[in-house]
Amino acid sequence: MCVILLSFVVAILTAISMSAIATNGEVKGGGCYYLISRSLGPEFGGSIGLIFYVANTVNASMNCVGLAEAAAFILKGYGWRLIDGDINDVRIYAFAVCLLLQCIIFIGTQFENKTQILLLVSLILAIATNVVGTFLPPSTYQAERGITGYSWATTYANLLPDFRNGQTFITVFGVYFPAMTGIMAGASMSGDLKDPSTSIPRGTILAIVITTCIYALAMVLTTVTVVRDATGVSLPQFSSVTGRFIPPKCAATFTCPYGLANDYQVMLLQGAFTPLVIMGIFASTLSSASGCLIGAPRVFQALCGDGIYPYLKFFSKGHGSHNEPYRAYVLTFIIASVMIFIGDLNVISIIITNFFLAAFAITNFACFDATQANSPGFRPGFRFYNKWLSLFDSVLCISIMFVLSWVTALITFGIFVLLFIYIRTNKSDINWGSSTQANSYRNALMGLLKLSQIEEHVKNYRPQLLVLTGNPSARQDLVDFAYGISKGQNLMICGHVVPYPPSVAATACIKKLNVDFTQWLNEHRIKAFYCAVANRSLRSGVQSLLQTVGLGKMQPNILLMGFKMACLNKCLSDMDELKDYIGVIRDAFESNMSLCIFRNKNDGFDQSVNLQSPDDYLFLQLPDLMLSDSKSSLSDDFSRGEPHKAKRPTTPTNTSKLFSRASKPSENFSHVFPMAQLPVQFSTNSRNPSTSSGPFMKDPSLKRQKR
C-alpha cells in the first residue's frame, strides 16, 4: 500500500504542476516537451523532451513484454511453446504485438481511438469479473493454490511486508511506478484535443484518482483472500487455537510454487470467468503500449519541428489532415523493438522509471520556477497548485531516482546535461518568453535594490567605465582598450552622442541603433552596454550621458575618451571644438568622475577613413532629419552646423580594406567625438525609420573577426 500511496503522491503533484502550466495560455502539440520548453526555455525543454520521448518508447516495449510474458505463461500451461517457452518466446510474442499495434496506428488515430474503446470495455469487464470471483467460495483446486476467500486470518498473515529474493521497497516501487506514468498520455496528445487547457487538468487528475483506486482495490482484495505461500497439493493450514495461518514447510526455503508471493497469475486463478481476465490483462498492456506508441512520436515531432536539434528536422514532417508523424512512428517502432529484445521486465522498468521521474522532476520544477519568478505572464487558470509542493515533488522524484538506482540516475542526468549544453551552444534565436528570462530580470532587479542599500567600501572598488566611443564599430581600438580594463567583470558603457536635435524621428533612430549596436557588441563577445543620446552639441550630449547613464550603484565612475587628434591641426582655426573638448573634461571632474584620455600615436582611434574612400564613394551615413531627401557622410563633422549633403552610391564597392590599419588618414579624417553612425533609412516624412540596417551590418566582409 505504501508503494501505491508514494506513487500516487508523485503522480498527483506532478499532474497539478502540469495542469498549472497547461492552463497558462495556448497549448499545442508536444505534451510534456511543449509545457516545459515554453516555461523553462528550449534548453530544459529540448533536453527533457528527448529523454521523455525515449522513456515513452521504452515504456511501450515494456508493456509489450508484459503481455508477452502473460501469453507465454498461459500457453506454457497448455504445453505449447515456440522455442523454449521462456525468454525467447517472450521476445517473439512482444515483437509481434508491437508490430500489430504499429500497423493499427498507421491506419489512423481515428481507428486506434475506436480500438481503445474496445480495450476499455474489456478492461472493465475483467476488473468486474475479478471482484465477483473474490466473493465466490474457492474450489479445491483454487484452495490448494492459496485462495481462501475473505478471511481475517489471511488478512493478518499478509498485513506486514515480506520482501523476498533480494526485493526491497524501492525495487518494488520501480516495477510498479511505470503503471503511473500514463498521466502524461493526455498531454502528449495535446495537439489533438479540442480544449487542452481544460481537458488536460480534468482528465489527468481524474485518471490518476480512478487508477489508484483500482490498484488499491486489487491489492486489498488479494491481500484478504490469498495467502502468500501454497504448495498446490494441500489446503492452507490454520491454527485451531489462534486461528492464524500456518505457513507450509516450503515457505521457509522460499520454494513454494503457488501463493500471492510466488504465483504472478493469482488474479487469473481467482476470477469468476478466466477468459475475461485474460482479455483484461491483454487489454491493459495493449492500451498502455498503443498510448505510448502514439504519444511518443508526437512529442518527438514537436521537438524536431522547433529546430532545437537541426539534424532531426527530417522527423518533423507530418502527413494528412491530422499531421500524422509517420517518420517518427517508424523510428519509435525501431527503438521499441530493440528494447524488446532485452526481454527482462525488471531491467526495462528500472530504466523507464528513472527517465519518467526525471521528466516529472523537471515538470514540477518548471511550475515552481514560473511561480517563483512572479512574472505577469504566468497566470494559470488552474488555481489549485502550490509552488512549494511542486518543489517538494521535484526533490522527491530526484531522491527516488538515486535511491532506486544511483548508476542509472547518474547516466540520466549525464545525458540531460550533455543535451542541455548542446542546445545552449547551438540553439538558434528561439525566444518563447521562458521563466528563466523572468528570473533573470527579477534577480537583476533584486540585486540592484540590495546593492543600493550597501555602503561602498574601498576594498570593493570597481572601475565602471563610460567610454565615449561614438560608433563602436568605427572605434574598435578604443572599445578593445576599454574592454581590456573591464574584462566583463566591471560595468562598461559605450556612450554615443548622435548629432540630432531631440525629436520623434531621432528617438526612433536611437532605438534602432540600440538594437544594432547591442547585437554588434554581442557578436564581438564584448560584455558592455550601448547608450545613445540625441543632441546637436557634443558637450551637451556628454553632459546628458554623465547625468543619466547608470542605475543605482551601477553608475560609471570613470570617463574614458580618446585624445582629440584633430585639434593639432584645426583647433587654432576653430576654437569651438577645443572649447567643447575642454568642457567635456571639466564636466567629468565636476561630476566627481575619474578621467582617462587615451592617445593612439598620431592616428587616433576613428577608423572612419577606412570605412569609406573618396575614390569609391562608399559612404556610411546618418539621415539628415531636418531635410527629408538629404543624407550625410560618415566623415562629416556633426558637431558643427548642419551635415553636408552627400551622394550615396547605389551599389557598394570594394570593402576589403574596411578595417585596414595601414590606411593613412585623409583630410576628412573624423576625430573621436564627431560620432560616426550606421546608415538608417528614413521615409520621406523623416519620421519612421525602416528596419534596414544598411550595407555596413549586412556585408559579411565588414564584420570583424570574433574573439
pLDDT value of position 677: 35
With CA atoms as reference, report the closest residue to 620 among 688, 517, 682, 697. Answer: 697
Which SS3 state, helix, strand or coil, does residue 143 take? helix
Mean pLDDT over 548-557 rounds to 89
Cell numbers 543619466 label which residue?
548
Cell of 235: 489446503
531 pLDDT more than 70: yes
Beta pairing partners, 556: none
The H or E element containing residue 167 is none
Work out the number of other CB atoms within 10 angstroms of the CB of residue 124. 13
What are 151-178's pLDDT values in tens digits?
888 888 888 888 877 778 887 887 788 7
With CA atoms as reference, report the closest residue to 497 among 668, 638, 626. Answer: 638
Strands (E), 403-541: 465-468, 492-498, 529-534
**Ordered DSSP codes for 598-638:** E--TTT-S--HHHH--TTTT----EE-TTSTT-EE-TTS-T
Work out the number of other CB atoms within 10 angstroms of the CB of residue 370. 27
Which SS3 state, helix, strand or coil, does residue 428 take? coil
In terms of average pLDDT, the best of 34-43, 114-123, 338-347, 533-542 is 533-542
Report how far residue 235's alpha carbon sits from residue 705's, in angstroms, rounded to the nearest whole number: 87
Burial class (CB in 10 A: 0-12, 13-18, 19+), 651: exposed
Report how far residue 497's alpha carbon sits from residue 234's, in angstroms, rounded to the nearest whole number: 100
Portion of the chain with pLDDT greater than 70, in percent: 80
Cell of 48: 527533457
What are 606-638's pLDDT values in tens digits?
555 454 444 333 234 455 444 333 333 333 333
Report how far residue 4's alpha carbon sits from residue 387's, in angstroms, rounded to the nearest whole number: 24
The H or E element containing residue 133 is helix 109-135
258 pLDDT more than 90: no
CB 451 within 8 A of CB 554: yes
Mean pLDDT over 305-331 rounds to 83
**Ranges 19-33, 229-243, 282-296, 510-524: which has the least confidence:** 19-33
HEC profile of 500-537: CCCCHHHHHHHHHHHHHHHHHHHHCCCCCEEEEEECCC
pLDDT value of position 568: 59
pTM, whole model, 2 decimals? 0.70
How high does pLDDT run on average in the chain? 77
Cell numbers 575614390 label which residue?
615
Domain segments of the chain: what residues? 2-426, 458-702
645 pLDDT more than 50: no
Instruction: Could you please state the CATH topology (level 3) that the domain comprising 458-702 is classified under.
Output: Rossmann fold (3.40.50)
Expressed in percent and rounded to 5, the helix, strand and coil fractions of the chain are: 55, 5, 35
Please, which pLDDT band fits residue 495 given cuts at 50, 70 and 90?
Answer: very high
Considering only residues 343 and 63, tell me which one the structure prediction assigns the higher pLDDT. Answer: 63
Report how far residue 199's alpha carbon sits from residue 184's, in angstroms, rounded to the nearest whole number: 12
pLDDT value of position 641: 31
Considering only residues 666 and 321, tell me which one the structure prediction assigns the higher pLDDT. Answer: 321
With CA atoms as reference, report the closest residue to 612 among 665, 536, 687. Answer: 665
350 pLDDT more than 80: no
Please, which pLDDT band fits residue 395 given cuts at 50, 70 and 90?
Answer: very high
CB 200 within 8 A of CB 190: yes
What are 101-129's pLDDT values in tens digits?
888 888 776 777 778 888 888 889 988 99
664 pLDDT more than 60: no
Give the DSSP letter of residue 680: -
Report how far residue 27's alpha carbon sits from residue 187's, in angstroms, rounded to the nearest whole number: 9
What are 10-59's pLDDT values in tens digits?
999 998 988 888 888 777 767 778 878 887 788 888 888 888 888 888 88
What are 432-448's pLDDT values in tens digits?
777 777 778 888 888 88
pLDDT value of position 192: 62
Report how far residue 221's alpha carbon sits from residue 634's, in angstroms, rounded to the nearest whole number: 87
Give the DSSP letter of residue 258: B
pLDDT value of position 567: 60
CA 140 from centre of chain: 59
Considering only residues 122 and 182, tell me which one the structure prediction assigns the higher pLDDT. Answer: 122
Report how far residue 671's alpha carbon sits from residue 654's, in angstroms, rounded to the nearest whole number: 24
CB 701 within 8 A of CB 656: yes
What are 308-318's pLDDT values in tens digits?
888 888 888 87
The CATH H-level superfamily of 2-426 is Amino acid/polyamine transporter I (1.20.1740.10)
185 pLDDT more than 80: no
CA angle in degrees (0–180, nearest 5) for 337-338-341: 90
Same fold, 2-426 and 458-702: no
Please, which pLDDT band fits residue 668 given cuts at 50, 70 and 90?
Answer: very low
Cell numbers 516501487 label which residue?
173
